Structure 1
Amino acid sequence: MKRNRSDEIQIESAGRRAVGGAALMQASVTEALTKALFEEWARVGYGALSLEAVAKRAGVGKAALYRRWPSKLAMVTDLLEKLGLENAPSPDTGSLREDIRLVLRSVRRLLRHPLVKRILPDLHAEMLRSPELSEAVRGRLQTGRRERSAAVFQRAIERGEIPADANVELLIDYMGAMVYWRAIVTGGRIDLGYIEELTEFVLAGVGSSSTRSSE
C-alpha cells in the first residue's frame, strides 16, 4: 500500500525546529523521535506511554531522547505545541470569509490525520485525570491557537466586517467544536463542501457584512 507522505510530514515537522538549547542536535533524530512518540501514543495511550519505548521505536538511544526532553510531559507538550501551532494559521487575506475558510481547512487537515484522530480522544480523557497535563496543554497549546484565531476576528472588526461587540471567544469555540465533533466524535466525513457550509454558518452567526452584502 502506498503511504501518504503528506500525513507523515505534518507529524514529523513538529520536531524540526530545535528544542530549547538544542540547536546542534541532529534534526533527523529529533524527527524520528517525534514520529515515534505519536505512533507509540496512538498504539498504547498516554497512560502506558514510555519514553524508553519511544526511543526504541525511533531506533535511537534513550540518552538522545533525554537530551531533548527531560520527561514524558515535557516531550508531549512541546511536540503538541509545535504541531498545533504549525497547523493554526492566522491568515490575513483582507476578507473574513476567506480567513475563516483557511482556518477551518487547516483544522480539517490536522483532524484527518490518522494518528491525530486516535490521540486526541485519549489526550482529552487524560487531561481530566492529570491536572499537570491539563495545565500544560491548555497553557501552551490551546492559548497559542486561540490567540491566532482571535487575531483573525479582531482584524475583521477593525475592517468593519463584523460588529465591534462580536463574541470572539464563542466564535472560536464554535469553529473548533464543529469540526472536532464531526471528525472525532461522529466520524463523519469532512469534505471541502462541509467547510464551505460551516464558513457561511459562522459568517451568518456573527452578522458579517460579507454575508449581508452577498444577499
Structure 2
Amino acid sequence: MTVGKALHDDVTDAIGAAFFEELAVTGYGRLSVDSVAKRAGVGKAAIYRRWPSKQRMAIELISSVAVAAVEAPDTGSLRGDIRQFLANARDALSHPLARPIVPDLLAEAHRNPELADALLSTVRDPRRAKAGALVERAIARGELPADTDVDLCLDFLAGPLYWRLTAINTDPGPDYLDRLTDKLVAAFHA
C-alpha cells in the first residue's frame, strides 16, 4: 500500500509540475489536458482520475501553491511582520513560473467569470485572510488603533510589490523591501 501511494504521489507531483510549466508557456486559454499529460509523461486518464476538468485541475493546483506561497509570519512586531510578508511575496512573485502565470490568470479571469469566481474564493480570500491576521495581530498588540481599516491596509500591503514585479516587471533594488516596509507602516498608522 505504501508503494502504491508513493507512485500516486509521484504521478500527481509530475502532473502538477507539468501543469505549471505548460501554463507558463501557453497560458490558461491555450492550455490543454493533452499537453499537460504529454509533458508529465502520463495518459489523460491519470489527470481525469484526479480532476474532472482543466478548470478544476487549474483551481486546485493554483490554490494549493498560491495560498501556501505567501505566509503572514508573526515576528512580534508590525514592521517585522510586514517586512517578512513582503519578502515572502517577492520570492513567490519572482519565481520564474509565477512571472508569466500570474498576469495571464488575471487576464483570463476577466474573460472567464467562472474561473474568476473560483480564483477569488480559493486564492484571494484565503490569502487576504492570512494577511488580515498580520494587521489584526498589530491591533491586538496595540501597534495599530482598534479602528484601523484592515481591508484598506491589505490593499496597500499587496499592491506596490505586485505592481513593481508583475505590472511593470521591474526587480526591486536591495533596499526596496525596507523602504516599502517603512512606507506601509506609516500608511497603516495614517
TM-score, length of structure 1 as denominator length: 0.83
Q: What corresponds to 1:213 in structure 2?
A: none
Q: Is the aligned partner of 1:50 residue 2:1?
A: no
- Counterpart CA distance in 2 for 1:109 and 1:191 is 14
- Counterpart CA distance in 2 for 1:192 and 1:27 is 39
Q: 1:93 pairs with 39, 55, 75, which one?
A: 75
- Measured against aligned partners, the alpha-carbon deviations of 1:128-164 in whole angstroms (never above 9, x if no partner) come to 1111000000011100000000011101101100111
- Counterpart CA distance in 1 for 2:187 and 2:61 is 34
Unaligned runs of 5+ in 2: none
Q: What corresponds to 1:146 in structure 2?
A: 128
Moved more, 93-102 or 23-32: 23-32
Q: Is the aligned partner of 1:61 residue 2:54?
A: no
Runs of 4+ aligned structure 1 residues displaced above 6 Å come to: none
- Counterpart CA distance in 2 for 1:85 and 1:91 is 14
- Counterpart CA distance in 1 for 2:173 and 2:62 is 25
Q: What corresponds to 1:158 in structure 2?
A: 140
Q: 2:171 pairs with 165, 173, 189, which one?
A: 189
AA paired with 2:135?
Answer: F
Mapping of residues 1-215 of structure 1, within 5 Å: 26-207=8-189
Unaligned runs of 5+ in 1: 1-22, 209-215
SS at match of 1:73: helix
The count of corresponding residues between Structure 1 and Structure 2 is 186
- Measured against aligned partners, the alpha-carbon deviations of 1:99-136 in whole angstroms (never above 9, x if no partner) come to 11111111100110111110111111110111100000
AA paired with 1:31?
Answer: D
- Measured against aligned partners, the alpha-carbon deviations of 1:25-49 in whole angstroms (never above 9, x if no partner) come to 6211111111111111111111111
Quote the RMSD (CA, aligned, Å).
1.5
AA paired with 1:188?
Answer: T
1:175: how far off?
1.7
- Counterpart CA distance in 1 for 2:145 and 2:153 is 13
AA paired with 1:55?
Answer: A
AA paired with 1:201?
Answer: K
Q: What corresponds to 1:4 in structure 2?
A: none
- Counterpart CA distance in 1 for 2:162 and 2:61 is 20
1:90: how far off?
2.4
Percent of pairs with identical residues: 44
Q: What corresponds to 1:212 in structure 2?
A: none
AA paired with 1:172?
Answer: L
- Counterpart CA distance in 2 for 1:70 and 1:31 is 17
- Counterpart CA distance in 2 for 1:29 and 1:190 is 37
SS at match of 1:68: coil
1:172: how far off?
1.0
